[in-house]
């Protein structure tokens, strides 16, 4: 029986020896390579991270660092995080390692902390580190920090002031979501990426300055901030992201800077007081529902009318679709040229296959100007549908380039008269000025037309004629005292 008791006591003593803490300086640590070690006198839980990603001995420990993964200390109003820990490896190697990362949920829900001092040794503040620290009032991010993780300060409802360091590059998802005491945020120009919902539902946020370093943002970054009034967007951003400012109901105006190419789906949807929008010349696309639910009445555009017309505009954009652009009506396609007839896209006085090509080039942004007559379908827009319909109708004229029209009086060519050909419905097909040469007209075989001389003062209506179903034909208009008296068809 004594042997059994002694053996049991010996085992207990052996176990106790294994967990006796070793004091290094002012900090007690366990002398073992455990993933998580408790600092008994300060309450931190931490792990040593192999900075080189290997475990091959002393020579590869120069980049090792400490990650704080938990805090078991007092839930007090002020916390000053240590900058380094003296650590003894299992082989006896002693090193002072920097605290470079605050890890997963390390101070989560410590609801009495009002101030936190983060040392310059910290490079990354990880996932949820201060989530739910509802008494935290202000935070200074040191210049050493390059990344703020997801949910890091979310639901810190008393947080009213953030001072960002100059080394920060990225802000994670929901990093400052529901920080209801925040009124103003200025992102430093060093930040290049802000992830999804980083500042969503901050009930009292009034001013947000994105800085001019951000090149990419996630979705819903400023979603549902009802008091947001002042918004400055980075001039290095190419896309204003999905629902970025949806339901920012106090926003009355917004300026999209030069460099932005796309406004993504519902970016400003339900900003119910948004009335004024300034758009850059670089803009190429406005997605569906970007301004749905807004009261946009005035648009300022920094480019030409033709460039504005080329912007791809999705549907369901509410009042934006009828707002004035630079003080003028917001027509999706506004033309500078004036055509002579329906389909005369290039305003050369003719409707032919060249107008189809011209319209296609305009839609493809190769041509800058186009006549209103290119709106062949009459729906108020100039689109590929107009070019297709033009081409279909002109197909009726295929192989009819043999129709030539000339004018003569007493054997001499009649020159300088303006002639007009209409179809049976009164639609002008062609208008031209006579010369000493025959003029080619595209007319449908078997159809009847009327030719007028627009030069005569009494607008004398001339004779009807029918285009024969032959390969080539000439139509000669015979004049007498400046009036057409006969039509001779020569095959």
CA distance 141 to 143: 7
| pLDDT class of 171 with cuts at 50, 70, 90 | very high
Two tokens at 32? Answer: 């073992």
Q: Indicate if the alpha-carbon torsion angle 132, 136, 138, 141 is positive or negative.
A: negative
Q: Are residues 363 and 419 in the same domain?
A: no
Beta bridge partners of 298: 276, 324
How confident is the model over 50-95, as pLDDT tens digits?
876 555 555 578 889 999 998 887 777 889 999 999 888 888 999 9
**Whole-angstrom Cα distance, residue 190 to residue 166?**
6
Are 455 and 376 in a shared domain?
Answer: no
Instruction: Classify residue 429: in a domain, yes or no.
Output: yes
In a domain, 417, yes or no: yes
Within a domain: 423: yes
439 & 481 share domain? yes
- Are 403 and 483 found together in one domain? yes
Domain shared by 367 and 437, yes or no: no
Asked if residue 407 lies in contact with residue 421, where contact means CB atoms within 8 angstroms, the answer is no
Q: Map tokens 């002008």 to a residue.
A: 428
Residue 476 lies in a domain: yes
Kindly report the number of other CB atoms within 10 A of residue 301's CB atom. Answer: 18
pLDDT (mean) for 388-401: 65
DSSP sequence for 197-209: TTTTT-TT--EEE
Rg of the chain over CA atoms, in angstroms? 39
Alpha-carbon distances of 275 from 203, 237, 290, 439, rounded to whole Å: 22, 23, 13, 54
How confident is the model over 280-302, as a mean pLDDT? 94
Backbone phi, then psi, for 158, in 5-degree steps?
-100, -5
Final residue in a domain of this structure, among 368, 396, 424: 396
The alpha carbon dihedral of 300, 302, 306, 310 has a sign of negative
Q: Are residues 407 and 479 in the same domain?
A: yes
| Residue 112 included in any domain | no
pLDDT band at 326 (very low <50, low <70, confident <90, very high): confident
**Length of the chain as a residue count:** 491
pTM: 0.62
Residue 73 lies in a domain: no
Q: Domain of 404: which CATH number?
A: 2.60.40.10
In a domain, 422, yes or no: yes
Q: Measured between alpha carbons, how far is residue 28 from residues 172, 237, 316, 359 in Å?
A: 34, 49, 64, 79
Question: 433 with 445, same domain?
Answer: yes
How do residues 328-373 score in pLDDT, each as one tens digit?
Answer: 766 444 445 555 567 888 877 777 788 888 888 888 766 667 888 8
Chain mean pLDDT for the chain: 81
| pLDDT confidence of residue 183 | 97
Structural domain count of the chain = 2
The one-character DSSP state at 253 is: E
- Whether 77 is covered by a domain: the verdict is no
Q: In which band, very low, low, confident or very high, does the pLDDT at 41 lie, cut at 50, 70 and 90?
A: low
Most confident range, picked from 92-96, 402-406, 445-449: 92-96
Q: Which two tokens stand for residue 152?
A: 């890091």
Q: What is the pLDDT of residue 353?
A: 80
For residue 359, the surrounding DSSP H or E stretch is helix 353-363
The parent domain of residue 383 ranges over 353-396
Neighbours of 469 (CB within 10 A): 9
Residues 406 and 480 in one domain: yes
Are 362 and 437 within one domain?
Answer: no
């Amino acid at each position: 029986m004594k042997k059994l008791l002694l053996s049991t006591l010996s085992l207990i003593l052996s176990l106790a020896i294994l967990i006796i803490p070793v004091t290094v300086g002012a900090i007690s640590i366990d002398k073992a390579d455990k993933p998580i070690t408790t600092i008994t006198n300060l309450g931190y839980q931490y792990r040593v991270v192999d900075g080189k990603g290997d475990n091959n001995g002393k020579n590869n420990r120069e980049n090792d660092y400490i990650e704080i993964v938990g805090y078991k200390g007092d839930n007090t109003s002020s916390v000053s995080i240590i900058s380094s820990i003296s650590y003894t490896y299992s082989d006896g190697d002693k090193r002072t390692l920097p605290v470079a990362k605050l890890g997963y949920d390390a101070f989560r829900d410590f609801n009495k902390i009002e101030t936190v001092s983060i040392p310059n040794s910290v490079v990354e503040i990880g996932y949820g580190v201060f989530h739910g620290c509802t008494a935290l009032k202000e935070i200074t991010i040191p210049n050493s920090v390059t990344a703020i993780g997801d949910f890091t300060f979310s639901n810190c409802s008393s947080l009213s002031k953030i001072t960002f360091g100059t080394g920060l590059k990225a802000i994670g998802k929901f990093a400052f979501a529901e920080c209801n005491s925040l009124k103003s945020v200025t992102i430093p120009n060093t930040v290049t990426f802000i992830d999804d919902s980083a500042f969503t539902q901050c009930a009292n946020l009034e001013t947000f300055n994105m800085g001019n370093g951000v090149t990419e943002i996630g979705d819903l970054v400023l979603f549902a901030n009802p008091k947001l009034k002042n918004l400055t967007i980075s001039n290095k951003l190419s896309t204003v992201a999905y629902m970025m400012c949806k339901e920012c109901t106090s926003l009355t105006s917004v300026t999209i800077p030069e460099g932005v190419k796309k406004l993504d789906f519902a970016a400003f949807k339900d900003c119910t007081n948004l009335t004024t929008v300034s758009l850059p010349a670089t803009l190429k696309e406005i997605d569906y529902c970007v301004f749905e639910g807004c009261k946009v009445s005035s648009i300022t555009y920094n480019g030409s009318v033709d460039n504005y017309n080329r912007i791809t505009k999705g549907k369901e954009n509410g009042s934006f679709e009828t707002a004035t652009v630079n003080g003028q009506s917001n027509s999706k396609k506004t033309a500078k040229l004036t055509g002579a007839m329906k389909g005369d896209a290039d305003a050369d006085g003719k409707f032919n296959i060249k107008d189809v090509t011209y319209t296609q080039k305009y839609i493809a942004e190769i041509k800058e100007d186009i006549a209103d007559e290119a709106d062949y379908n009459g729906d108020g827009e100039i689109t590929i549908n107009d070019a297709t319909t033009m081409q279909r109708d002109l197909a009726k004229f295929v192989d009819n380039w043999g129709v030539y029209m000339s004018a003569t009086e007493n054997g001499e060519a009649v020159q300088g008269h303006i002639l007009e050909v209409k179809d049976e419905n009164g639609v002008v097909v062609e208008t031209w000025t006579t010369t000493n040469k025959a003029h080619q007209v595209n007319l449908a075989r078997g159809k009847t037309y009327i030719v007028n001389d627009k030069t005569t003062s009494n607008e004398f209506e001339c004779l009807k004629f029918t285009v024969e179903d032959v390969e080539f034909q000439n139509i000669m208009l015979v004049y007498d005292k400046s009036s057409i008296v006969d039509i001779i068809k020569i095959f």
